[in-house]
């Protein structure tokens, strides 16, 4: 059996550097190394609606933003199927069947869902659809028999639940579903990029993001204002790199080649860190380096985005075609699922035959 990569994002906002290091960069590598049979990347609008039911306009406006972000980082619709979750109604059907194979208390233990409930002040009033989204996410995955799910570590509980549901389904009916594996970002810095304010996570609601679509001036303003080391007051003071967001970003993005290009006094980040810790390196110089490093990555992304922005109807065409292609796969799996569950009544010649004979004998 082949390797099938599948992943997606909720279209609730533009994608930022946290998405880039945590996931987008890896997806493009996976796409380009050809080491897979199929690759599916989708916009999880159904999931986004589970906590935005009153605000479909937000989702509607962000589909295009996320699509532009996907295309501009280098996802190629020729190599990877790009689609919209709600255009695959089979996923809703499958969710309904999978919900019968898991208990309420099992879903309640999901730490990611728990955090989200707190963050949204849902405690007393959790929408049922929101509560069930981990099951719907399992459907997203198993409908494509995906083997490999490149996501951040906050998605681990979802993949674990998916694996349990696959085992449960296969035992209860027959073995048609595939247990997926999570593919985490390769290193610790990529797992969770802090915000520009140094807080734990880059997140739209915290207002501490650098977006892939930010222009060079905006990026420089954001980098200039970044959190560093509050004890590093004079240039000559020893600086701390731990918990210093500028250095965390350099860890995530800077290469040795960037040093020869932008700051040849040092050959590597390791050397710069040692010098900063000893004292004598100003924060502004580090921020300038980071700005150059980021712009080197963001400039080609911006340029491609600008090109794609010239033909928005074509982007919807790409998504429409991708959705048709994706639906073919999901339809095929659903046929196997209905057969396994023996609810494929019209195709079940044996059922019809047996019942016909039974009623004739009466």
Residue pointed to by tokens 């695959």: 88
Are the C-beta atoms of residues 177 and 34 closer than 8 Å to each other?
no
Closest distance to ligand TRP from the beta carbon of 218 (Å): 24
**Distance, CA of 125 to CA of 111 (rounded, Å):** 18
**Distance, CA of 122 to CA of 119 (rounded, Å):** 8
Q: Is 21 in the site for ligand TRP (CB under 6 A)?
A: no
Contact region for ligand TRP (CB under 6 A) — 5-13, 96-104, 273-281, 299-307?
5-13
Among 4, 5, 7, 293, binds ligand TRP (CB under 6 A): 7
SS3 label, residue 36? coil
Closest distance to ligand TRP from the beta carbon of 46 (Å): 9
Q: N- to C-terminal Cα distance for the chain?
A: 48
Contact region for ligand TRP (CB under 6 A) — 6-14, 31-39, 74-82, 332-340?
6-14
**Distance, CA of 202 to CA of 208 (rounded, Å):** 6
Closest distance to ligand TRP from the beta carbon of 108 (Å): 17
**C-alpha angle 127-130-131 in degrees, rounded to nearest 5:** 90
**Distance, CA of 79 to CA of 34 (rounded, Å):** 9
Contact region for ligand TRP (CB under 6 A) — 2-10, 57-65, 97-105, 304-312?
2-10
State which residue, 46 or 289, has the beta carbon closest to ligand TRP.
46
**Distance, CA of 216 to CA of 164 (rounded, Å):** 46
Among 81, 86, 137, 213, binds ligand TRP (CB under 6 A): 137
Q: Which two tokens stand for residue 188?
A: 């610790």
**Distance, CA of 18 to CA of 116 (rounded, Å):** 18
Q: Is 72 in the site for ligand TRP (CB under 6 A)?
A: no
Closest distance to ligand TRP from the beta carbon of 6 (Å): 6
Q: Is 8 in the site for ligand TRP (CB under 6 A)?
A: yes
Positions 38 through 57 that interact with ligand TRP (CB under 6 A)? 44, 47
Report which residue's Cβ sits closest to ligand TRP: 44
Size of the site for ligand TRP (CB under 6 A): 13
Among 71, 141, 161, 209, binds ligand TRP (CB under 6 A): 141
**Distance, CA of 261 to CA of 37 (rounded, Å):** 38
**Distance, CA of 68 to CA of 215 (rounded, Å):** 15
Q: Which two tokens stand for residue 311?
A: 């033909």
Contact region for ligand TRP (CB under 6 A) — 24-32, 123-131, 136-144, 287-295?
136-144
Closest distance to ligand TRP from the beta carbon of 353 (Å): 40
Among 128, 139, 131, 132, which Cα is nearest to 165's? 139
State which residue, 47 or 196, has the beta carbon closest to ligand TRP.
47
Q: Is 177 in the site for ligand TRP (CB under 6 A)?
A: no
Closest distance to ligand TRP from the beta carbon of 12 (Å): 9
DSSP state of 20: I
Q: Is 90 in the site for ligand TRP (CB under 6 A)?
A: no
Residue 309 makes CB contacts below 8 A (sequence gap 6+) with 68
Are the C-beta atoms of residues 289 and 251 closer than 8 Å to each other?
no
Closest distance to ligand TRP from the beta carbon of 341 (Å): 22
**C-alpha angle 249-119-64 in degrees, rounded to nearest 5:** 65
SS3 label, residue 120? coil
Among 143, 151, 219, 298, binds ligand TRP (CB under 6 A): 151
Q: Is 59 in the site for ligand TRP (CB under 6 A)?
A: no
Binding site for ligand TRP (CB under 6 A): 6-10, 44, 47, 137, 140-141, 149, 151, 155
């Amino acid at each position: 059996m082949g390797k099938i990569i599948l992943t997606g994002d909720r279209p609730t906002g533009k994608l930022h550097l946290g998405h880039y290091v945590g996931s987008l960069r890896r997806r493009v590598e996976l796409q380009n190394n050809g080491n897979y049979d199929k690759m599916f990347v989708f916009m999880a609008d159904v999931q986004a609606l589970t906590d935005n039911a009153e605000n479909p306009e937000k989702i509607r406006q962000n589909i295009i933003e996320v699509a532009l972000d996907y295309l501009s980082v280098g996802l190629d619709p020729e190599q990877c199927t790009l689609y919209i979750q709600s255009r695959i109604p089979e996923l809703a059907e499958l969710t309904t069947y999978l919900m019968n194979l898991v208990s309420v208390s099992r879903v309640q233990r999901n730490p990611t869902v728990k955090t989200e409930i707190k963050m949204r002040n849902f405690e007393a009033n959790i929408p049922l659809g929101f509560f069930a989204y981990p099951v719907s996410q399992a459907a997203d995955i198993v409908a494509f028999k995906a083997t490999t799910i490149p996501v951040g570590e906050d998605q681990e509980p979802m993949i674990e639940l998916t694996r349990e549901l696959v085992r449960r389904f296969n035992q209860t009916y027959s073995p048609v579903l595939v247990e997926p594996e999570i593919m985490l970002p390769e290193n610790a810095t990529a797992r969770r990029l802090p915000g520009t304010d140094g807080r734990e996570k880059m997140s739209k609601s915290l207002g501490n993001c650098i977006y892939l679509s930010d222009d060079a001036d905006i990026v420089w303003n954001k980098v200039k204002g970044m959190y560093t080391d509050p004890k590093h007051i004079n240039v000559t003071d020893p600086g701390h790199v731990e918990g210093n967001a500028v250095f965390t970003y350099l860890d995530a993005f800077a290469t040795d080649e960037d040093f020869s290009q932008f700051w040849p006094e040092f050959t590597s980040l390791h050397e710069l860190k040692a010098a900063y810790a000893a004292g004598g390196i100003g924060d502004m110089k580090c921020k300038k380096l980071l700005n150059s490093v980021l712009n080197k990555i963001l400039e080609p992304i911006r340029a491609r985005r600008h090109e794609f922005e010239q033909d928005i109807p074509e982007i919807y065409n790409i998504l429409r075609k991708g959705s048709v292609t994706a639906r073919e796969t999901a339809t095929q799996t659903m046929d196997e699922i209905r057969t396994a569950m023996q609810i494929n009544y019209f195709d079940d010649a044996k059922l019809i035959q047996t019942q016909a004979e039974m009623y004739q004998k009466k």
